[in-house]
Amino acid sequence: MNYDFSFYMPVNILGGKNALQNNKNIFSTLGKKCLIVTGKSSAKKSGALDELIAVFDELNIEYTIFDEITENPLTKTCCDGGKAAREFGADFVVGIGGGSPLDGAKAVCVYATNPHIINDDIYTADVTNKPLPLVVIGTTSGTGSEVSGVSVLTRENGRKQSISGKNYYALYAIADAKYTYSVPFRTTVSTALDALAHAVESMFSPRADFLTQQFALISIKMIYPVLQKLHDTKELPNSEERDTLYFASLYAGFALNKGGTGFPHGMGYALTEDYNVPHGIACAVFIPQYLTEAEKSNPDLFNQVLDSMNCDKSTAEKLIADLCDLQLSIPDEKIKGYVARWETLKNFKNSPTDFNNEDAGLLVKRLF
Ligand code: NAP
Ligand code: FE
């Protein structure tokens, strides 16, 4: 067996039931003043914000809340968050939410200590000062942002673009799946599909190795039966299934952190930008084609993926297409624009075959 691998993931994950309360001592080590970065509702609905405030009151940590982070967070909003952190004199940041607030919080930490970086400069400017320390508390089972050194932001021109590297890892992740119990049905489906896409895409990435492929396979094995149940019953998962989805999203995050994503993620951004399609669905709709490419390139690994799903390819394709349930009609002119734009996309090179931007245009035409 060839088990060569290298793995770097510097986040200290503190997991388990009541992980926040059980590990509250970490906050005192980070300082006396905290900026809490969230979206409008998830931090409250999940129960995480109230629990964090109770801990801060107990520890005499002063806090202020920046709840401006929207879905697909804008660089400008995160830059405003950085300014808020400076004005408050925050020693550290806690991000609470799904991928959007967590990615937003990562960027806030960079902007906070680097006032020369304004909005889209974050993609190019030197980060000369160390970002503020960050604790993340995830409330969805999808992005794995808790364990990746990646932040996906939206540029001033409305285009989504990721940024990655050592400045984009949290210091601690509090991993308690109970915060995901309030996620509504459609977001549960979309986020589970996102995690599945991370596992499947990273599996066939040229950067993947033995260890990340094991993480991906475990993740697929955990997610697939829950997706099947969501599909068949249209009911919310029970708490055990919620826990399974959450930990599967972390495994997929470990795999993504090394392997990165392939063409489904690159292509999916356009559907979110132009048609407001939730991120996971926007990417997963291209997974059936990705599986076709994967089968051509590495039949052995492809069979391992199907074994983890415990089904054949056409069954998996139908399940994913049914769950995505996308009824879009995309005009030819728009597709031409995408094809030109996708020419430079790194995600195509990070895919198993020479599937290119022209092929991608034909795929979009066939699907929509
Ligand atoms: P999200 O955009 O963070 O949240 C989607 C919706 O679900 C929001 O309305 C949110 O409310 C709500 N929500 C979240 N948690 C909830 C809870 N516990 N109870 C009730 N409602 C809840 O969704 P996401 O799929 O987790 O994140 C998607 C973003 O992450 C995209 O921008 C995507 O590009 C990015 N992403 C990042 C990585 C990475 O490695 N960093 C990987 C993949 C994707 P609020 O608006 O109140 O928050
Ligand atoms: Fe994703």
pLDDT in tens, 195-250: 999 999 999 999 999 999 999 999 999 999 999 999 999 999 999 999 999 999 99
Degrees, nearest 5: CA angle 308-311-315: 130
What is the pLDDT, as a whole number, of residue 204?
97
Nearest ligand to the C-alpha atom of residue 199: 2
pLDDT in tens, 254-267: 999 999 999 999 99
pLDDT at 343 over 80: yes
What is the pLDDT, as a whole number, of residue 115?
98
Q: What is the DSSP string of 71-117?
A: SS-BHHHHHHHHHHHHHHT-SEEEEEESHHHHHHHHHHHHHHH-TT-
The protein residue with its alpha carbon nearest to ligand 1, atom 13, reads 42
pLDDT at 143 over 80: yes
What residues have CB less than 8 Å from 30, skipping those under 6 apart? 91, 92, 133, 135, 171
pLDDT band (50, 70, 90) for residue 2: confident
pLDDT at 137 over 80: yes
The protein residue with its alpha carbon nearest to ligand 1, atom 47, reads 41
Taking a C-beta distance cutoff of 8 angstroms, is the pair 351, 202 a contact?
no
Ligand 2 centroid – CA 138 distance (Å): 14
Pocket test for ligand 1, best of 187, 205, 249, 283 (most atoms within 8 A of CB): 187
Taking a C-beta distance cutoff of 8 angstroms, is the pair 300, 290 a contact?
no
Is 0.95 topped by the overall pTM? yes
Residues with CB under 6 A from ligand 1: 39-42, 45-46, 71-72, 97-101, 103, 139-140, 142-145, 148, 150-152, 160, 179-180, 182-183, 187, 191, 194, 279-280
pLDDT at 332 over 90: yes
Average pLDDT, the chain: 97
The tokens 């001592």 sit on which residue? 25
Pocket test for ligand 1, best of 37, 100, 273 (most atoms within 8 A of CB): 100
pLDDT at 1 over 90: no
Percent of the chain with pLDDT over 70: 100
Pocket test for ligand 1, best of 42, 176, 193, 287 (most atoms within 8 A of CB): 42
Ligand 1 centroid – CA 307 distance (Å): 29
pLDDT at 89 over 80: yes
For the range 18-26, what are the long-range contacts, defined as Cβ-Cβ under 8 Å and sequence gap of 24 or more? 18/176, 19/174, 19/175, 19/176, 20/48, 20/51, 20/52, 20/55, 20/137, 20/174, 20/176, 21/51, 21/55, 23/172, 23/174, 24/55, 24/58, 24/59, 26/135, 26/172
Ligand 1 centroid – CA 138 distance (Å): 9
